[in-house]
Amino acid sequence: MDLRHTPEDERFREELRHWLDETIPRQGDSPPPEAGYKAQREYDARWQRRLFDAGYAGLHWPSEYGGRDASLAQQLIFAEECARAQAPFNPTNFVGLLHAGPTLMVEGTPEQKAAHLPPILRGEQTWCQCFSEPSAGSDLANLRTSAVRDGDDYVVNGHKIWTSMATMADYAELLVRTDPRASKHRGLSWLILPMDAPGIEIRRIKTLAGSLEFCEVFLEDVRVPASHLVGAENDGWRVSNVTLRFERGTAFARQIYSMQQLLHSMLLAARRVERGGRPAADDAGLRRRIGRLQAELDALRSMLRLSLSQAARTGVPGLGASALKLKYSELWQRAAEAARELIGRGVLARDDVADLPTRQFGWAALGSLQSTISAGTSQIQRNIIAERILGQPKDR
């Protein structure tokens, strides 16, 4: 097997690198948090449109939906180069681009695909995820939000929580109970929820960090056309697992490549930070720690390749998506912790201090904390790996 990139892939990298170097300065800095999420959404939409116009949106999406049908190698080069250039990341449409769109590609009707996939790629349609409820997070199948068929509509009543970016979204991935008599995994359905439908109330939840991306979504007699059902009625558990496999198995590609930047910054910082009158980089223990993180990151990138190639082959990432998500989130936390320890209290600064990347390290230290909870906790990924991959007895 030849693991080197082909001349065509290298040409793709060169062109992309050139385009990023030219286009990122024209895009400008992302708006400051105090400008609000509306400004962030406009910024993200502008970037997405630039990607689309240049042929870089949805690299792995089929060309009939505006994608590029790119090879696995080119998808990885794209993630690597965007991370290297610190290109905008489009947080307000993470859901649409990385798991709602891919779910519709596999499970949607031709009408649903036509209505949603091209506008998502062009940056014109934003999505959020309405799965979790107050008593249905890890135990997602315990959800209570109901949808009752009434003529050509479903009438939805219930309460969702931890919905990221709900105020920005045009549509939501909505998981509901359509058969209350069936066993809990059997009576669920996956609906496309238009977020401007009458009967939806959104309340923001302020986090400890002061940010406002989390929301609660209250649904009272919300009418959703039956044509918005994705997959069959009462088959929503299977469809939601397709969504979760994309979320866990392929959606974090860019973040995985960005971790390389963190390790690189740590190496540079270790030469400047002093410990006992000598550069911290002289400490063999620290060098070993960074070297180990690098080796684990290399392994993680191999897992990502496996997950992307499985998605390309079968349409959906495999169960290994849980292993990838577990490894990614825990490695990010350990790398961020090492960066924090290297600099010490300086990471509390919101800006770079003494020519050290304290802002980057501080953000990583705080930002990585949520990663072992969102998209399913580490304990839940371990349960899936134990029971469904390793065939261990079920957790009681």
Which positions touch ligand FAD (CB under 6 A)? 128-132, 137-138, 162-164, 370, 373-374, 376-377, 379-380, 383, 395
DSSP assignment string, 189-216: EEEEEETTSTTEEEEEE--TTS---EEE
> Would you say 66 and 122 are in contact if contact means Cβ atoms under 8 Å apart?
yes
Question: Of 14 and 395, which CB lies nearer to ligand FAD in the complex structure?
Answer: 395
Q: How far is the CB of 164 from ligand FAD (least distance, A)?
A: 4
Question: Of 23 and 145, which CB lies nearer to ligand FAD in the complex structure?
Answer: 145
Q: How far is the CB of 207 from ligand FAD (least distance, A)?
A: 9
Has 247 been annotated as catalytic? yes
Question: Of 70 and 172, which CB lies nearer to ligand FAD in the complex structure?
Answer: 172
Question: Of 39 and 386, which CB lies nearer to ligand FAD in the complex structure?
Answer: 386
Residues contacting residue 374 through CB under 8 Å, at least 6 positions apart: none
> Would you say 230 and 107 are in contact if contact means Cβ atoms under 8 Å apart?
yes
Question: Of 20 and 251, which CB lies nearer to ligand FAD in the complex structure?
Answer: 251
Q: Given 80, 107, 213, 247, which residue is catalytic?
A: 247
Instruction: State the residue number with the nearest CB to ligand FAD.
Output: 137
Q: How far is the CB of 138 from ligand FAD (least distance, A)?
A: 3
- What are the start-end ranges of the H helices in the chain? 7-27, 37-54, 72-84, 94-95, 101-107, 110-122, 236-249, 253-272, 284-314, 321-343, 358-367, 378-384
Q: How far is the CB of 132 from ligand FAD (least distance, A)?
A: 3
C-alpha to C-alpha distance for 272 and 70, rounded to whole angstroms: 41
What is the enclosing helix (H) or strand (E) of 186?
A: none
C-alpha to C-alpha distance for 292 and 255, rounded to whole angstroms: 19
* Cα–chain center distance at 211: 18
Q: How far is the CB of 130 from ligand FAD (least distance, A)?
A: 6
C-alpha to C-alpha distance for 286 and 62, rounded to whole angstroms: 45
Q: How far is the CB of 162 from ligand FAD (least distance, A)?
A: 4
Question: Of 78 and 237, which CB lies nearer to ligand FAD in the complex structure?
Answer: 237
Residue 86 tokens, joined: 């610190």
> C-alpha angle with apex 230: 228 to 233, nearest 5 degrees?
95
Residue 308 tokens, joined: 């992307």
Residues marked active site are found at: 247
